[in-house]
Amino acid sequence: MEIEYTVKIKDKHNPPVFDEELGKGVVAKVTIDFKDANEDDYKHLRFIRAVYERGEELMDDYFEVTFDLTKFDLE
């Protein structure tokens, strides 16, 4: 079974179009083959969790959040 994931910036942030073929805010489209999986597997929590976790991994692969301390005031 193949599942296509779309990695994108949410519309509420008014993202630009990075690639005309992908559309507004889309950073990447990734197809993952869950070998030997079938439609019945999609009914089981363990498989659904694996699909969701792979999506989380893609988000971590494509995005990072950094921060810098810009002001430190104890008052």
Low-confidence residues of the chain: pLDDT under 50:
none
First-to-last CA distance in the chain?
58
Which pLDDT value is given to residue 56? 95
Which pLDDT value is given to residue 38? 86
Which pLDDT value is given to residue 72? 81
Contact 7, 58 (CB under 8 A): yes
Which pLDDT value is given to residue 51? 93
pTM of the predicted protein model: 0.78
Contact 46, 60 (CB under 8 A): no
Which pLDDT value is given to residue 41? 87
Round to whole Å and give the CA distance between 54 and 58. Answer: 6
Q: How many CB atoms lie within 10 A of CB 34?
A: 15
Round to whole Å and give the CA distance between 72 and 40. Answer: 55
